[in-house]
Amino acid sequence: MQSKKYYFDPPRILVLGFSLIIFIGTVLLTLPSATIDGQGLPIMNAIFTATSATCVTGLVVVDTGTTFTIFGQLVILSMIQVGGLGFMTFATLFALILGKRITLRERIVLQESLNILSLDGIVKLVKQIFLFTIVIELMGAMMLSTRFSLDMSLGRAIYFGIFHSISNFNNAGFDLMGEYKSLTNYVADPAVSLTISSLIILGGLGFIVMNELFVYRQVKRLSMHTKVVLLTSAILLIIGTIGILVFEFSNDKTLKPLSLIGKVLSSFFQSVSSRTAGANSLAISELNQSSQFLIVFLMFIGASPGSTGGGIKTTTFTTLIGAVWSQIRGKQDVVFFRQRIEYEIIYKAITVTFSGLFLVVLTTMLLTITEQGKDFLMLLFEATSAFATVGLSMGVTPDLTPIGKTIIIVAMFAGRVGPLTVAYAVTVRKNADVFKYPKGKIMIG
């Protein structure tokens, strides 16, 4: 009985669930019907693409628009949708449709999957998640299809609109534009840039935040979590926009040829996308190193908890900043909006950040060994993009060695499921200590 509980605890279920989705996707992408050349993807590229889609990353070793058939693209789109919302969310929906009762264990796994604090109303939240997703993706698809219809046939425009709406709301970054162009052809187009930016932002806020904003008119209050998410997201978007605008203003290969409005619009879009989406309207490899390093910083922070995005999360970053600021001021408590953060949350924020930093450093170090001759910043950028499930790249991905691809696959998987969840899944956790050791002192700083 103990071994069964040990095996089927929530972290292991999540790891096995995502692994199963990736396995199914890999098999489907190797089928001849998945690729235009009728050969199917080689196994390594299939695993890489399936992992990138399921983990809503967007790093690609082959161009999505010119390599895959409609069937292959729909397989990728399905993995993006399931991976973005979480397989437990879909499993719960199907169970509800079949009239099945959601057990306590299933609710606990769902809580772990959505990264929320309470089990209260969790089934209702799943219903709201699907409602928000359908409405937002449908609106995004309609707006994008209308704009794309000016450049292509109506049927193709509708398909492109649906694909890019789902991909960007789930912060995946996959596109069908061909030749790894992403959205560079629409760099100064407000309809495309603002629509996709809105999809990315909404997908990255988290469903808890969206739900609170949805019912705000009735309750007239927001939780501290939502306030922290909104404030931190706004500040990071402003910092990213201003930073890219300043660093790239005179760059002949990026912003300089654009009008002032185009410069601001493309800077804003790249700031939004850098947080975890992976779409780009500027050529990442042509950016100045200052902009590239700023994007690494934004990618590492990522989106917010309970969202379709990755990274250490906005709340984690803000909690760390609050802890540092409190220490500098000689305060014991971290306080946001007149509410105190518990020490357990601070410890978790430190653990999440250190785990993420360790994974990025380890991935980068291994890539410097396997990818000889590549620029260090390019490899750091790739490693951070994989961990934070962003999908932006300086052009390294298609040229990775088989070992390099394997390293990135592991980083994407750990980044999507969560380093702590993976650690919990492969280790045995003991109960809390029943006694305390005597205090000891070490000097810090």
Q: What is the pLDDT of residue 435?
A: 63
Q: What per-residue confidence (pLDDT) applies to 277? A: 83
Structure tokens given for 129: 């998640």
CA gap 16, 312 in Å, rounded: 22
Q: Residue 31 half-sphere exposure, CB side, CA atoms within 13 Å?
A: 13
Task: Please answer whether residues 8 and 33 qualify as being in contact, where contact means their C-beta atoms are separated by less than 8 angstroms.
Answer: no
Alpha helices by DSSP H, listed for 149-288, are: 154-169, 190-205, 207-214, 216-219, 224-248, 260-274
**Packing angle between helix 70-85 and helix 10-29, nearest 10 degrees?**
170
Whole-angstrom Cα distance, residue 23 to residue 27?
6
What is the pLDDT, as a whole number, of residue 4? Answer: 45
Q: How many CA atoms lie within 13 A of 290 on its CB side?
A: 10
Q: Angle at the Cα of 281 (from 280 to 286), degrees rounded to 5?
A: 85
99 Rama sector, left if φ>0, alpha if ψ -120 to 50, beta otherwise: left
The pair of three-digit structure tokens given for residue 428, joined into one six-digit string: 């045995």
- Token pair of 329, please? 């001021």
For residues 286-308, one letter each, b for 16 or more C-beta atoms within 10 angstroms of the residue's C-beta and e for the rest, the string is ebeeebbbbbbebbbbbbbbbbb
Give the per-residue pLDDT at 212: 86
Predicted local distance difference test score (pLDDT) of residue 291: 95
Spatial separation of the C-alpha atoms in residues 29 and 121, rounded to whole Å: 38
Report residue 75: phi and psi, to 5°: -60, -45
Query: What DSSP designation does 202 have?
Result: H
Q: Are 305 and 315 in contact (CB under 8 A)?
A: yes
Q: Both tokens of residue 98?
A: 């079949």
**pLDDT value of residue 180:** 64
Q: What is the pLDDT along the chain (445 residues), one digit of tens a residue?
A: 444 444 456 677 778 888 999 999 999 999 999 999 999 999 999 999 999 999 988 899 999 989 999 999 999 999 999 888 776 676 676 666 666 776 777 677 666 666 666 666 777 777 788 888 899 999 999 999 999 999 999 999 999 999 999 999 998 889 898 776 678 788 888 999 999 999 999 988 888 888 888 888 888 888 898 999 999 999 999 999 999 999 999 999 999 999 999 999 999 999 999 988 888 888 898 999 999 999 999 999 998 887 878 889 999 999 999 999 998 888 888 888 888 988 888 998 999 999 999 999 999 999 999 998 889 999 999 999 999 989 898 989 989 999 999 999 999 998 888 776 666 656 655 555 556 778 777 766 6
Torsion of CA 358, 362, 368, 371, to 10 degrees: -120
Residue with tokens 């490693």: 383
Residues in the chain: 445
* CB contact at 8 A, 212 and 246: no
- 222 Cβ contact partners less than 8 Å away, ≥ 6 residues apart: 212, 213, 216, 230
Q: What pLDDT is stored for residue 98 in this prediction?
A: 65
What is the per-residue DSSP string for 80-133?
A: HHHHHH-HHHHHHHHHHHTT----HHHHHHHHHHHT-S--TTHHHHHHHHHHHH
Start-to-end C-alpha separation, the chain: 48
CA pair distance 334, 261, nearest whole angstrom: 40
Tokens of 379: 């490899």
The CA distance from 370 to 373, in Å, is 9
Q: Contact at 8 Å (CB) between 17 and 416?
A: no
